[in-house]
Amino acid sequence: MEYLEIEKNRSRKTVENYDHYLDRFLDWAGIAEPGDITDSLVRSFRVYLSRLEGGNEKALKKITQGYYVIALRSFLKYLAKMDIKSLPAEKIEIGKNAGKEVEFLEAGEVDRILAAADGPDFKSLRDRAMLELLFSAGLRVSELTNINREKLDLANREFSVRGKGDKVRVVFVSDGAATALRRYLEKRTDIDPALFVRDEKSLARFAGKSREKKPDGLRLTPRSVQRIVKYYAAKAGIIKDVHPHTLRHSFATDLLMNGADIRSVQAMLGHASITTTQVYTHVTNRQLKEVHQAFHARRRKKS
């Protein structure tokens, strides 16, 4: 874990996840030495993960099962680097996951969700600004909740966020998001650094108190943002299961449908690999359908 944190510069969350995955493997395996990790042991563990269900356990998604294998391979690579004899990492193959279909919102659905948060009160202004920024910048929910007011540059309509793997990228603010953010920030009378904070009652309760005396500050949590997004989706009459990440998907889809190249979208989303961005091929598929309808069998139609 220290190697991941220091030499590999992995984020705290990644280190925590790897710790969990490897602990579970070692608890299940009941082995005492690295040399006890064999090909057959790993295969048995993968079968165990695949069939895990019943009692207090719930079935693991294929992608989650893959995370366990990735963590184990990383551990074996570390052992090899330290000249500790164990199973070679290349002996373990990562199973191929089925293609994932991305859920996104149509332009009209996004407009309806944004309109549902319209209002002059503090909560409506905060929520409208939050929804506008999620869609405008394609943010992950953790990136949104970690933004501080001082980082926001509405004059230049851009600012930097720290994403997965502690990678920093620049994101951009649309006209609508900038207007919504200005209206919301005009209502802020507190000195808390967080961009998105809890309601006015919480602001009043903590007014004048030092940050040390606040249990967790005023910053909204990712779970709170998830509830807020689902609330406005329901209020707007959207029957899809809408999450903050749905707005991120909608951001990427909107860019591609309007002609953005996939490499630019990759950079704006902060994806390390273009493969991750290629889940948005449903956009290409839709465009291909339009080409097919426009050009297929045109000579037959003329005759």
Can you read off the two tokens belonging to residue 109? Answer: 């659905």
Phi-psi map region of 174: left, alpha, beta (phi>0 left; psi -120 to 50 alpha): beta
In degrees rounded to 5, what are phi and psi of residue 266? -55, -45
Q: Count of H helices and E strands in the chain? A: 15, 2
Q: What residues have CB less than 8 Å from 253, skipping those under 6 apart? A: 102, 104, 280, 282, 283
Nearest to 65 by CA among 36, 106, 25: 25
Is residue 271 among the annotated active site residues? Answer: yes
Which one from 164, 188, 230, 243 is the annotated catalytic residue? 164
CB 144 within 8 A of CB 244: yes
pLDDT at 294: 75
| Domains in the chain: ranges and CATH | 2-91 (1.10.150.130), 107-288 (1.10.443.10)
Q: Which residues contact 153 (CB under 8 A, 6 or more apart)?
A: 159
- Pairwise CA distance, residues 145 & 135, whole Å: 14
Joined tokens for residue 1: 């874990």
End-to-end Cα distance, the chain: 71
Catalytic-residue membership of 280: yes
Among candidate residues 12, 271, 282, 298, the one labeled active-site is 271
Examine the residue annotation and report whether 140 is marked as an active-site residue of this protein.
yes
In tens digits, the chain (303 residues) has pLDDT values of 999 988 888 878 889 999 999 999 999 999 989 999 999 999 999 999 988 875 566 788 888 888 999 999 999 999 999 999 999 999 988 766 555 667 888 889 999 999 999 999 999 999 999 999 999 999 999 999 999 999 888 989 989 988 887 788 999 999 999 999 999 999 988 888 999 998 766 666 665 554 444 445 789 999 999 999 999 999 999 888 899 999 999 998 888 888 888 888 888 988 888 888 887 766 656 666 676 677 776 665 555
**Is the whole model's pTM more than 0.75, yes or no?**
no
CA 31 to chain CA centroid, nearest Å: 35
Instruction: Specify whether 235 is catalytic.
Output: no
Quick check: is 112 catalytic?
no
User: Does the active-site annotation cover 248?
Assistant: yes
